[in-house]
Structure 1
Amino acid sequence: MGIGRTALSIVLAGSLAGCGGGGSSDGGGPIGTNPTPTPTPTSSGCSLSARQDFVRAVLDEWYLFPDLLDTGVNKGSFSDLQSYIDALVAPARAESKDRFFTYITSIEEEEAFFNSGASAGFGVRLGYDTGANRVFVIEAFEDGPGLPQGLDRGVELLSVGRSASSLQSIASLMAAGGPDAVIEALGPSDPGLQRVFQIREVDGTERQITVIKAEFPLDPVSDRYGAKIIDDGGKKVGYVNLRTFIDTAEPDLRAAFADFRQQGVTEVIVDLRYNGGGLVRIAELMGDLMGRDRVGQVFSYTTLRPSKSSENESDLFGTQAQAIAATKIAFIGTGGTASASELVTNAFIPYLDTDMALVGTNTFGKPVGQFAFDKTECDDRLRAVTFKTENADRQGEYFTGLASVVPVTCRADDDIFTQLGDPNEASVAQALAFLRGGAPVCSPIGGRSATATLRDPAAMPLTSRRQVLQPDTPSPAQREVPGLF
């Protein structure tokens, strides 16, 4: 998620780009980003020791939980920067307040993603079945190279190799090395890298395809199913599926809600089931687009540590020409729903109460966000947890997931064999049922969200048995779009 904090960035002479990841001012990784120049990294001032000193100075001044920093950590005991960061914030992680939300990343790569959704790969999101050790495509992106070759939602990957003669079965890879072995077999995100797959389509047909990784822009609202109006027995229900909160989502969201408004829609399904977060600015826009009757009321509070309280903000619902006055909202979520996605959902609790529901499974639980601190000569961007977000009732303690605070929850499957946005897909069908019948038609979601971390493939379950395939060190795009390859 991300908060636009341009003034703060200027005050800090460009060292702070107001945003955060997986919940920052402008992004889900971040919640908001103000671009800064990205020169070629140089050795001067970029020694590990100098980079560690930069990180330590930022955290000492800005970290949201100053009492949960391990100030006794010896930087000389670490051979890489992220391990040092992890050690510094370990006390906060032990209390589930910073589950690897503070991290180092590339300025250039992150800005490429948040500005345009730029990434490189096959253009698919992958999940795996923990019981049967099977890997499936759970979403395909229209501009990626995989979809034209047949990689779409519900397709199973049976084998992968550099060529047809070097295919390895997914079952053998999973048996030998688990999901990490599959990730390694898929190869790095280098344009031009080729992989051959044996796949099984939803109808059972098996065939062999070749896909070459390429750079592609990720459309945050799919042209196939991202925004539509569902006729539910004569009632018009708006459906919007937002993949990630990046800048390019704005025109699509405005167009979707302009259509909803023109057709008199007041009940909405907001599908955030795989949305790992993004820019707070886009989260605020989404709130505005559903809050036409709440202009001037509190959308959310942004609260920093006491020494930075002068930077606290109250965000109010604003006026948008395309906005509707939503009377009922069904938010679809999973363990992969985090940060900016959770911010939007939490913001409507004080206003809709039992006229809104969380449908699917519990969410990740990330009510905090990051600002971006740049050491430009090294292409280093530190995403540090610096603020918490709360709704109008000052509720923001959902570290165990939104199911603990949303008044109505409706358990539902993620039916990967039915396309997103289809009224017959399990979660969409349950969302429609809630909008028709309210809480009585729902079976409550139970249990915690993912107990692992965002860096662990087990961190974001889609159902009790299916999890997003995620590398230990995700790229900026993978942090915001979990399972992206």
Structure 2
Amino acid sequence: MKRLLAPTMVLLILVTGCGPKLTPEEEILQADNQYLHELLQQWYWWRDDVDLAIEPSEFTSPEALLDQVRYEELDRWSYVGNWAEFNALFSGGNYAGYGFGAKWDADGNLWIRSVYDDSPFGEAGVERGWKMLAVDGTDVQSITDFGVAFGPNEEGVSNTFLLEDLEGETHEMTLAKTTVNINAVLHRSVIEQNETKIGYLVFNTFVATANQELDEAFAYISSEGATELVLDLRYNGGGSVLVAEYLANYLAPSSAQGQVFSLQQHVSDRSENDVTYTINKQGGLELSRITILTTNSSASASDLIINGLRPFLDVVLIGTEATPGKPVGSYGWQRDPYVYSLIAFRMINADGEADYFNGFEPNQTAGDGLAFAWGDPEETMLAAALQYYG
């Protein structure tokens, strides 16, 4: 036995010493994958439902690793992205672009659905309800890839647009991309109907910078004497839970003061990170009911608002179809150049309701009136909401 042992040890030393040396890029990749693997083991909401007994070094990228272990049945949201873009959008509320959103209708028309104030489109006077006809001389119906047509999202990149306004007049304008500062409140107004004043608020994103805009919007709505509210979340894809709580404080009645808006619950050995968000009533609006406009783009924190308010208000949904349904939330872990955004908790309302993965169905269906400006009482979804107020 002793005679065999020494040669075996020599062989092991030789094999180990002659192994391939990792390049600096391979070392970084292994470290990136290892970090993601540890996050999944420690934080991932569905960690007990997936196979994490893997070797991180075997994957060609963090994206490939996440795709392998993702809980496919429910997880539609965890991703690996670019940290700088993630941080700019969710913390600073800005990005490089033209500052508009567009949407096709069933007849093949491309409508401007929303415009940010501090953007090339906003400063050029473009509004919701305008129609985009052509880009750089090419009819929009002939464009197969708008990402290519618009060019990279970098400051200075320009295009020439042919647009039709609400009165049917056409406008040709050449605009250059800049850093767009997102305004979360796209519109606020008060509509008087049958001696009832109804506030109308279009809230587009729960970005971290939104609180001041909400303060100003609700101060205006209250100063105009509104006693009812239509909250338009039709394009709101979510964002900060803290901003959702802030908005809920304006919407909930005084009787909900101190009650649970939502419990943020983590995996068992991370329960010290659980957070209970309670109602701290703000503003003078005392609602017993609220009408919320939704589409399949009203996700995440928009779902949270609906679920969190239901124990305290009659919540009426008017929309095109069910919301996406996202009763879970994520954190963004930074490891340059990546952000690892993983589902790490679920949100539970005061009645213990948390599993709305199929979304919330509208109480009344209504189409998206793309040809109308914000606040027009004839716009399809807003008109349907106003019917609830006599």
Contact 1:128 1:134 in 2 (8 A): yes
Contact 2:135 2:149 in 1 (8 A): yes
User: Which runs of no fewer than 5 residues in structure 1 stay unpaired?
Assistant: 1-42, 162-166, 175-180, 437-485
Distance in 2 (alpha carbons) for counterparts of 1:210 and 1:150: 13
Distance in 2 (alpha carbons) for counterparts of 1:357 and 1:182: 36
Aligned partner of 1:227 in structure 2 is 188
The total of aligned residue pairs comes to 365
Aligned partner of 2:273 in structure 1 is 311
| Corresponding residue to 1:433 among 353, 378, 387 | 387
Aligned partner of 1:347 in structure 2 is 308
Distance in 2 (alpha carbons) for counterparts of 1:298 and 1:45: 48
After TM superposition, the structure 1 stretch with the greater mean CA deviation from structure 2, 241-250 or 278-287, is: 241-250
Aligned partner of 2:214 in structure 1 is 253
| Corresponding residue to 1:328 among 252, 276, 289 | 289
Q: 1:62 to 1:122 in 2, by over 3 A?
A: same
| Corresponding residue to 1:209 among 163, 168, 173 | 173
Confirm or deny that 1:293 pairs with 2:255. Answer: yes
Confirm or deny that 1:338 pairs with 2:289. Answer: no
Aligned partner of 1:479 in structure 2 is none
Aligned partner of 2:116 in structure 1 is 141
Aligned partner of 1:80 in structure 2 is 61
Q: Show CA shifts across 1:354-412 (max 9, x none).
A: x321111221111110012222xx23221110011121111122111111xxxx71111
Q: Show CA shifts across 1:170-194 (max 9, x none).
A: 22223xxxxxx12221111110001
| Corresponding residue to 2:338 among 380, 386, 389 | 380
Q: 1:150 to 1:238 in 2, by over 3 A?
A: closer
Contact 2:111 2:371 in 1 (8 A): no
What letter matches 1:367 in structure 2?
P
Aligned partner of 2:43 in structure 1 is 62
Contact 1:330 1:435 in 2 (8 A): no
| Corresponding residue to 1:155 among 112, 130, 136 | 130
For residues 13-92 of structure 1, the aligned pairs below 5 Å read 47-71=28-52, 75=56, 78-89=59-70, 92=71
Task: Kindly state the Cα deviation for residue 77 of structure 1 after the two structures are TM-superposed.
Answer: 5.9
Distance in 2 (alpha carbons) for counterparts of 1:277 and 1:357: 19
Contact 1:149 1:210 in 2 (8 A): no
Aligned partner of 1:423 in structure 2 is 377
Q: 1:330 to 1:85 in 2, by over 3 A?
A: same
Q: Show CA shifts across 1:187-226 (max 9, x none).
A: 111100011123333433344321111112111113xxx2
What letter matches 2:324 in structure 1?
F
Greater relative CO, 1 or 2 (CA 8 Å, sep 6+)? 1
Confirm or deny that 1:169 pairs with 2:139. Answer: yes
Aligned partner of 2:363 in structure 1 is 409
> What SS is found at the alignment partner of 1:351?
coil
Q: 1:259 to 1:152 in 2, by over 3 A?
A: closer
What letter matches 2:164 in structure 1?
R
Distance in 2 (alpha carbons) for counterparts of 1:345 and 1:313: 19
Task: Kindly state the Cα deviation for residue 316 of structure 1 after the two structures are TM-superposed.
Answer: 1.2
> What SS is found at the alignment partner of 1:350?
coil
| Corresponding residue to 1:279 among 240, 243, 260 | 240
Aligned partner of 1:467 in structure 2 is none
> What SS is found at the alignment partner of 1:256?
helix
Contact 1:266 1:327 in 2 (8 A): no
| Corresponding residue to 1:392 among 322, 345, 350 | 350
Q: Show CA shifts across 1:430-457 (max 9, x none).
A: 1111233xxxxxxxxxxxxxxxxxxxxx
Confirm or deny that 1:183 pairs with 2:137. Answer: no
The structure number with the bigger radius of gyration is 2
| Corresponding residue to 2:90 among 114, 122, 137 | 114
> What SS is found at the alignment partner of 1:230?
strand
Distance in 2 (alpha carbons) for counterparts of 1:208 and 1:153: 17
Task: Report the structure, 1 or 2, having the larger strand content.
Answer: 2
Distance in 1 (alpha carbons) for counterparts of 2:41 and 2:163: 50
Task: Kindly state the Cα deviation for residue 121 of structure 1 after the two structures are TM-superposed.
Answer: 0.6
Report sequence identity in percent: 29
After TM superposition, the structure 1 stretch with the greater mean CA deviation from structure 2, 147-156 or 246-255, is: 147-156
> What SS is found at the alignment partner of 2:185?
coil
Aligned partner of 2:12 in structure 1 is none
| Corresponding residue to 1:199 among 142, 147, 163 | 163
What letter matches 1:249 in structure 2?
A
| Corresponding residue to 1:370 among 305, 330, 351 | 330
Q: CA RMSD in A?
A: 2.2
Contact 1:140 1:151 in 2 (8 A): yes
> TM-score if structure 2 supplies the norm length?
0.87
Distance in 1 (alpha carbons) for counterparts of 2:80 and 2:30: 15
Contact 2:300 2:327 in 1 (8 A): yes
Task: Kindly state the Cα deviation for residue 150 of structure 1 after the two structures are TM-superposed.
Answer: 5.2
What letter matches 1:396 in structure 2?
A
Task: Kindly state the Cα deviation for residue 160 of structure 1 after the two structures are TM-superposed.
Answer: 1.9
Distance in 1 (alpha carbons) for counterparts of 2:161 and 2:54: 46
Contact 2:34 2:57 in 1 (8 A): no
Q: 1:157 to 1:413 in 2, by over 3 A?
A: same
Aligned partner of 2:104 in structure 1 is 128
Q: Show CA shifts across 1:7-54 (max 9, x none).
A: xxxxxxxxxxxxxxxxxxxxxxxxxxxxxxxxxxxx789722211111
Distance in 2 (alpha carbons) for counterparts of 1:366 and 1:307: 23
